[in-house]
Amino acid sequence: ADLVVASVDFEAGAVEEDPLLPWVPRRVSNRRREPQRDPLDPAAVRTLHDEAERRGARLELRQAPEELEQLAEILADVERITLWNQHIHDDFFSGFRWTREEVERTRDGLDLATLELETSEAAGLAVLRQWRVMGEHAKIAAPGRSLGDLNRKCVAAAAAIGVVSVSGTDGAAHLRGGAAVQRLWLAAAAQGIALQPMTSLPSYLARLERGGESLFSERQRRELVRLRMASPATLPLA
């Protein structure tokens, strides 16, 4: 027998166009890394906070140079975890599309050209994608400071780092959080503010704290706890 899962009724009504609608096709991830530490306009910051609050979320922004430098080192350390954990490493690189032919053929994933990499950085990334290289690097626990350079450069080019948070961890909370990020992102585009999502740290901490700790080695778990404690005290990273 057929199973009815939903019933929808339609009726005529007035159409109210959202002012952010025109920005949907224009919103992008901007990964350019030319340092531009110009402070954000206070009115634009208020708009971003308002958009998050309309969806039941909270936006925390950090703009002070000393806090950005602190967060740059934290995000650089997170990048090493991404590259030294085989499961995360393989999942991370599986999303890349390395050539124009691959981009057009798959029509999904992350086009390498959108990362705004220098030629040497793109070559280095091609080496890092090989687990036989990274696995040996991880075994000897080499310092690997340069592995976090891309994240450092991203933060060096940023006027601010923000975290969007919502109450709860259920499906409805995830939807609220996603809606808030989408609204905030569109509002940023409308204000002429470039935005790049960097989700590794909050997602790793959430997994560590909510039953997914087996994904990480003992050393990586200790490192994530250290990074959580090193983050600015009021920043809701998980």
Place of tokens 């808030």: 180
The beta-strand segments (E) located in 76-160 are: 96-97, 110-111
Asked whether 29 and 197 are in contact (CB, 8 A), the reply is yes
Q: How many CB atoms lie within 10 A of CB 169?
A: 13
Nearest 5°: phi and psi at 161? -120, 135
Indicate the pTM of the whole model. 0.83
pLDDT at 76 over 60: yes
Asked whether 179 and 55 are in contact (CB, 8 A), the reply is yes
Tell me the pLDDT band of 222, cut-offs 50, 70 and 90: very high
pLDDT in tens, 26-73: 999 888 887 666 889 999 999 999 999 999 999 999 999 999 999 999
Q: What is the rounded CA–CA span in Å between residue 59 and residue 164? A: 5
pLDDT at 100 over 70: yes
